[in-house]
Structure 1
Amino acid sequence: MKHRALLTAALAMLLCGAGPVTPDYRPGHSDVARTGKDFAGGKDEFRFVVIGDRTGEHRPGVFEHALEEVNKLRPDFVINIGDLIEGNSEDLRQIDAEWQDVTAATGKLDMPFFYVPGNHDLTNDIQLQAWRKRLGADYYSFTYKNALFLVLNTEDPPQPKIARRKLLEAYGPQAMGVALQALQGDTEQAKALFAREPRIGELAAKLRASENVAFSAAQLAMVRSALARNPHVRWTFVLMHRPAWKVDSPAFREIEAMLRGRDYTVLAGHFHKYEHQTRDGHDYVQLGVTGGTPGGRTDDPAVFDHIMWVAVAKGAPQISNIRLEGFFPKEGPPASSAHP
């Protein structure tokens, strides 16, 4: 009789809209006004944040501010898509000082931060050795709650002929922004611009020639092995710096062939401008910046500082992007929307 009474009471609570009873939820009244949906945050769910480029005459404080706000959101972990230091140097003291600035910020997070290498981070073999000594592997995989993460290195080996900083110094940030904007925009409009402004066309040609990716045979073997060990994960995330799908890369085509038949999402950066496209039914996203130099005109709606919030539960991952200017403290929005 006692058990029947308890069962009747539980059923009454469900029928009255109190919702299903979970180990963490105990309604204080039999007719709590709520829907009957299950609570989010189940054991198979997780959320992570992706950080964009920080380089190209980075703006002090923006990256640090972003991580402070991310820490309050309490994702399971944070990962980036490369280019955290300005690099382009063989001076170990400079390289070490730049990494100290970055790791001081990432070290304040209450959750893990995963590093993905970019061309600024690995401009040469000296920077590669500094990366390995300070951070660890420059390409690797890991799984979390039955999702596979492949962290790729598009500078494997480093490509010393690529010297973005030298181009920036030679042509200036404004010309660099115009050239990058043209290369990512309408082809006919770009041709017309280069005809009118030969210097911009010259810079664009040098930038286009530098956009190579490199994946070693050892890295391809790592990808093949990680996929073989994890054939039944619910989703695969591929993170890299340069968007390898935008260049003629036989190695990346091989990686895409390895991914065939599974659910996956590819995330990259490098161009400092947000872009989404679908390839064979899969999301390929090029992130914007998180403190890096904007990749084009500031009035371009695809050029902004942001973080990416990824929620993994049932079905495909849900991606949301949060502009950094959208954050403000509990005291209310500042008098000025400008941020250092």
Structure 2
Amino acid sequence: MKKVCLILLIGIFMLPVFAKNNFHFAVLSDRSGGVNHEAFKMVVKDINNLHPDLIVTVGDLSDNALKNEYKKAMDVMDKFEVPVFYTPGNNDIVDEKTRKLFIEFTGNKPYYSFEYQNTHFIVLDNSTAESYEDMEKKQKEWLKNDLKENKDKINIYVFMHKPFWADNVAENKNDKMHSLFKKYNVDAVFTGHWHQYAHNEYDGIDYYLAGSSGGGFGKENVDLGKFYQFLWCKVDHDRLNVSIIKAGNIYRDDLVNIQEEKLSYKIVNELIASNGKYLEEEKSLHAEIKIENATQKTINKKLYINSKDNWIIDTESIPVVLKPAETFTKKIKLTKKGNFYPLPEMKFVYPFGRNKKIEYNRGLNIKPKVKIRKSNNQPEIDGRIKKSEWPKEASRFNEFCNNYGQKSQISKTEVLMTYYEDNLYMAVTSYESDVSKIRADTKKRDGNVYNDDSIGILISQNPYKIYQTYINTNSVIWDALIDLEKQERIKSWNGNYEHAVKKYDNRWVMEIKMNLSDLNIDKNKPFFFNIRRQQKTKNKSGFLTPNWKYDSGGYVEAKFE
């Protein structure tokens, strides 16, 4: 029983010790040398959101050691809620007068040391020196004595502005400062000045060059560590873990609430809408635009319609003023002058929530309306498109788009559609520069055909039942019935289709025969469909309409002639 009690007591008394050896600190780098004060404020805000235990700078808060620049910087630094320890840089101290200015604004001496939990921190002043040898003798003697007195500390971290190590230690040259650090068990050295990140380890000492926290660096290059940043450091007993945090990428946990999230989805998918139907024999159409205000504030914005040369629109800018719960509607006239895609784009900034906004930018929802013509001969399903079986009058589609109504980047693709008796026929020719690179891994029915080079089909007459099919170049099929009333995908459903695929030198052809009764399609009523080509060699997809969703209202509208 005594042994158990002893173990428990040891555990109880050791817990606080371990708790004190675990903390976080942030390293704030240069603000000056081409000051971007807004970027600096963003870095400070990010650090505050992470709630470190302390912050250490590596110099250059002021610019040209000017008093007004000190004041501007310190006005931002005052927002920190934890202790800040300042390191002087060459833009902070240039002479004895500005040395006093540094002390006045920061409350720190130019060089000093302090303790935090199990770690000894040393701050050096190399603001006016170009090498360790140039540093004043008094400071070097102080450094040696401080290191000697604290050499047995679990962690020793050194901070200074100029990276002397980069020109000596990194070049395998003798370096007195490095030798001193090595002798007295320094674990890490943090520097700034170059406005670009770097890290190396020499003789067990981690050397860090912190990138800019607001100072200029030319063009951003993440691969070279040239971006606004700070270092986030975790001390776990005798271990140091350092991460580079890019400014503007830290957010509070109340960034978005669930009401805002749901409304943002609704804005894009329901509250802003457009609708128009295009008949090939008619070059012009009218599209209706609708915007609903589901917020508690009046919306007063402009709606913009932008178009390429293939569409002419009668208006490009429409003022929208909407009180809460009101709906705005407007009809616009469009005339097709060239290709169907790209569609005219509708742009609107929808404000909502706590000063949030959705920048809506999508193609107008213009759906082709087509006639499916009858074939005089029954097409043979063999992967060969014969003129005798596919009439000249067959419906033809050769324009594909992406999800936003822009022209798709897939290779040339042609679709033919016809019907014979109670069957719908489709033939899709997919051109490919190198057929040998086609991906077709799936070889079993209802396998992951949709991950291969494939043709996808969505077809429906009842808006609550959608039939989905994919066929790959192995002629393997995946199909399912989507029951929107039951909110389920019935994978066990199989269409009684006849299909074939044939590869050629520069293309592959898919033909399919679909019985209308399998699809619950009444030949006397309109039906809706969309076709997708997945081209894995380009990692691209193309659609007949942008709406590749279980919503037949956005598909091609078709009627049997």
TM interval, shorter chain, is 0.5 to 0.7
Specify whether residues 317 and 335 from structure 1 end up closer, same or farther in structure 2 by C-alpha distance, changes over 3 A only: farther
Counting helix residues as a fraction of each chain, which structure ranks higher? Answer: 1
Contact 1:223 1:255 in 2 (8 A): no
Name the SS for the 1:317 alignment partner. Answer: strand
Match of 1:44 among 21, 45, 57: 21
Q: Which structure 2 residues correspond to residues 321-332 of structure 1 after superposition, within 5 A?
A: 321-329=244-252, 330-332=254-256
Deviations along 1:101-139, one digit per CA (max 9) or x if unpaired, are 122122221111111011111123321221133333101
- Match of 1:331, SS? coil
- Residue 49 of structure 2 contacts residue 251 of structure 2 at CA under 8 Å; is this kept in 1? no
Q: Deviation above 4 Å: which 4+ runs of structure 1?
A: 332-336
**Separation in 2, partners of 1:103, 1:307:** 17
Q: TM-score, normalising length from structure 1?
A: 0.64
Question: 1:297 maps to what in 2?
Answer: 219
Aligned partner letter, 2:236: A
Who is 1:236 aligned against?
156
Per-residue CA deviations over 1:31-60 (Å, capped at 9, x if unaligned) read xxxxxxx99x82221110001111112112
Q: What TM-score, normalized to structure 2?
A: 0.40
Larger Rg: 2
- Over residues 200-220 of structure 1, what are the superposed CA-to-partner deviations in whole Å (9 max), with x where a residue is unaligned? xxxxxxxxxxx6563111111
What is aligned with 2:91?
120
Deviations 1:74-123 (A, max 9, x none): 111011111111125xxxxxx22211112212222111111101111112
Q: What is the correspondence of 1:276-291 to structure 2 with a 5 Å cutoff?
A: 276-291=199-214
Give aligned-pair identity as a percent: 25
Separation in 1, partners of 2:175, 2:143: 13
Show structure 1 runs of 5+ residues with no match: 8-20, 24-37, 89-94, 160-210
What letter matches 1:112 in structure 2?
P
For residues 191-340 of structure 1, the aligned pairs below 5 Å read 212=131, 214-247=134-167, 253-261=175-183, 262-294=185-217, 296-301=218-223, 302-329=225-252, 330-332=254-256
**Distance (whole Å) between structure 2 residues aligned to residue 233 and residue 239 of structure 1:** 16
Residue 61 of structure 1 aligns to a residue whose secondary structure is helix
Q: How many residues align?
A: 242
Do structure 1's residue 64 and structure 2's residue 41 form an aligned pair? yes
Shift of residue 143, structure 1, vs aligned partner:
1.4
Q: 1:107 to 1:279 in 2, by over 3 A?
A: same
Check conservation: 1:234, 1:263, Cα contact below 8 A: no
Gaps of 5+ in 2: 5-10, 262-355, 359-561
The amino acid of 2:59's aligned partner reads: G
CA contact (8 A) 1:220 1:255 kept: no
Q: Deviations over 1:284-321 (max 9, x none)?
A: 11111111102x43235210111111111133201111
Deviations 1:181-237 (A, max 9, x none): xxxxxxxxxxxxxxxxxxxxxxxxxxxxxx656311111111112112212111111
* AA aligned opposite 1:254: K
Match of 1:142 among 106, 114, 120: 114
Q: Distance in 1 between matches of 2:196 and 2:182?
A: 27
Q: Is the 8 A contact 1:56 1:292 kept in 2?
A: yes
User: Taking CA–CA contacts closer than 8 Å with sequence separation of 6 or more, which of the two structures ends up with the larger relative contact order?
Assistant: 1
Helix, strand or coil: the match of 1:307? Answer: strand
Out of 118, 124, 134, the position equivalent to 1:152 is 124
User: What is the distance in 2 between the residues matched to 1:130 and 1:120?
Assistant: 12
| Structure having the larger proportion of residues in strand | 2
- Equivalent residue letter for 2:255: E
- Counterpart contact for 1:267–1:284, Cα < 8 Å: yes
